[in-house]
Amino acid sequence: MIKIDALPAFSDNYIWLLQDPERRHCAVVDPGDAAPVEAWLAANPGWQLSDILITHHHFDHVGGIERLKAATGARVLGPANEKIPGRDLALHDGDQIDVLGQRFSVYAVPGHTLGHIAYIQAEQHWLFCGDTLFAGGCGRLFEGSPEQMHQSLSRLAALPEQTQVFCTHEYTLSNLRFAAAVEPDNQQIKQRLEQVGQWREAGQISLPSSIALERATNPFLRSSEPAVSAMIAERDGPASRSPTQVFAALRAWKDHF
């Protein structure tokens, strides 16, 4: 049975650590800093870092790769269409990979960056989505278009509702404050905002989320909802908007929220 823990990094990043206790092998997702992984390995002698999975090229996701690879010989897997330091295996949409005895599917999810990928383990219902889908939000559009990001998020939203969402930043509280502004009458958002506020006050992590929870409370997955399009019409003026156009308006609003 694989165990998954979050190693905090920088001010709000998480490096996901997958552990196979039987073989004492582990893998990490998006190690922007080598130090938290090195500290875990030092505190757990006899464990071998076998794989480093990368979702996209931003430094806070790749900064620790080379040091970890040099120290452990771990295999580095990452998107084919981005410059990933130390990459051993270049991944494309639809590829299948085996990590710690688990089969993962690779999804191309452009938007935050053009080559961004996500890793899905269908049997275990795990989604490692980097900075594409956040708990209560989504990544900024640094390279891609609103159309690309909306399509990527729609693809992730179509995963089974029990899928666990392992994103890489603790942005949930600020995201849910925005969600409450978009849908002030959504009771599930109110409840989630209160719960996450209590968790963060107690120093608890707000992740992983689930696809079911995101469908119910994440405005960026809800651009087809009448209440969401009505709020955009109220803010930006009445017009006939497609779900992608509603999404684009939401992202622009969140950028200055």
Q: What is the pLDDT of residues 228-238, one digit of tens each?
A: 999 999 999 99
* Catalytic annotation, pick one of 56, 57, 116, 150: 56
For residue 195, the model assigns a pLDDT of: 98
Which stretches of the chain score pLDDT less than 70? none
**238-257 pLDDT per residue, tens:** 999 999 999 999 999 999 99
Q: Would you state the pLDDT for residue 128?
A: 98
Total H helices, total E strands in the chain: 9, 14
Active site residue 58: yes
Q: Which of 30, 57, 60, 150 is catalytic?
A: 60
Residue from 57, 116, 150, 169 carrying the catalytic annotation: 169
Tokens 């849908």 label which residue?
A: 183
Instruction: Confirm whether 116 is a catalytic residue.
Output: no
Q: Where are the domains of the chain?
A: 3-255
Active site residue 25: no
Whether the pTM exceeds 0.95: the reply is yes
Would the CA dihedral through 108, 112, 113, 114 be positive or negative? positive
State whether the Cα torsion 21-40-131-165 is positive or negative: positive
- Name the catalytic one among 25, 57, 61, 150: 61
- The contacts of residue 157 (CB under 8 Å, 6+ apart) are 211, 214, 215, 221
Q: Which residues on adjacent β-strands are paired with residue 17?
A: 5, 28
Cα 55 to Cα 32: distance, rounded to the nearest angstrom:
11
**SS3 call for 235:** helix
What is d(CA 188, CA 100) in angstroms, rounded to the nearest whole number? 36
The pLDDT value given to residue 4: 98
Known active-site residue 169: yes
Count CB atoms within 10 A of the CB of residue 67.
Answer: 16
Question: What percent of the residues of the chain are helix, what percent strand, and what percent coil, each to the nearest 5?
Answer: 35, 25, 40
- Residues 214 and 221 sit within 8 Å (Cβ to Cβ): yes
Q: In the annotation, is 125 catalytic?
A: no
Domain 3-255 of CATH type 3.60.15.10:
yes
